[in-house]
Amino acid sequence: MHPGSTDLRVVKTRLAIQSRFLDLLLKKNFNELTVKDIASAANIGRGTFYLHYQDKYDLLEKVIEEGLETTIDMFQPHEYLVGGQVIPERIIQFVLKIFEHFRENERFFRAMLFNEGIPMFRHRMQQRFLKKFHHEVELIGLPGQVADPSTLEILPIFISSGMIGLVGWWFENQMRIPEKDMARKVFLVMTQGPLKTFGFRVEENH
């Protein structure tokens, strides 16, 4: 194997393997795929495949890890907050950037979210998000009233579950709502909450 190699031939071969692997995942259950299928699709021999990956599970792990790392690295809300204040257009641009990333990497997310042989992907994605969320909280700091431990535990799970479900729905519906509109609608829900977004009046507790 060539862990961490930057040799252009090695990189090119890995990219070819990963690309054809995603193509196969869009058509076939991961559990039914064989190394022979992957190697044949990438136009390489099985021996070449094993120079880069231990087996199909190692390949899946590497593809998931690289894809999630790129995605989670984009989640930098502290860069869009000014002095602890929410600037609407900045946050909308932040959410827009995320949806543009999902569109640009549609093949990866479709393969991972909808392949029945990879049921753990959504959980993996959420766990990475939760870890990043807590890191961002440390960078940003939160007002005292939301520093309650149970709130900090519930809120990121609520947000991440909703976003992952929303992205899945967006792909299932062929991304018919433009990214800009998605960003503004998500911002509306984030700032007003589901009930106010639906038009209900919420009585404030005193």
Helices 121-140 and 56-73: angle between axes, nearest 10 degrees: 30
Which of helix, strand or coil describes residue 176?
coil
What mean pLDDT comes out for the span 98-124?
97
Beta strands in 97-197 (DSSP E): none
Domain that holds residue 107: 63-198
Examine the domain organization and report whether 43 and 121 are in the same domain: no
Report whether pLDDT(36) > 90. yes
pLDDT at position 189: 93
Residue 70 has pLDDT above 60, yes or no: yes
Contact of 37 with 93, CB cutoff 8 Å: no
* Reported pTM: 0.86
- The number of distinct structural domains making up the chain is 2
Residue 3 covered by a domain: no
Q: What 8-state DSSP symbol labels residue 203? A: P
The H or E element spanning position 82 is: strand 81-82
Burial 22-40 (b: 16+ CB within 10 A, else e): bebbeeeebeebeeeebbe
Q: Are residues 48 and 77 in the same domain?
A: no
Query: Quick one: average pLDDT of 63-82?
Result: 86
140-198 pLDDT, tens digit per residue, is 766 655 557 788 888 889 999 999 999 999 999 999 999 999 999 999 999 999 999 99
Name the residue among 196, 163, 199 with its Cα closest to residue 182: 163
Same domain, yes or no: 97 and 182: yes
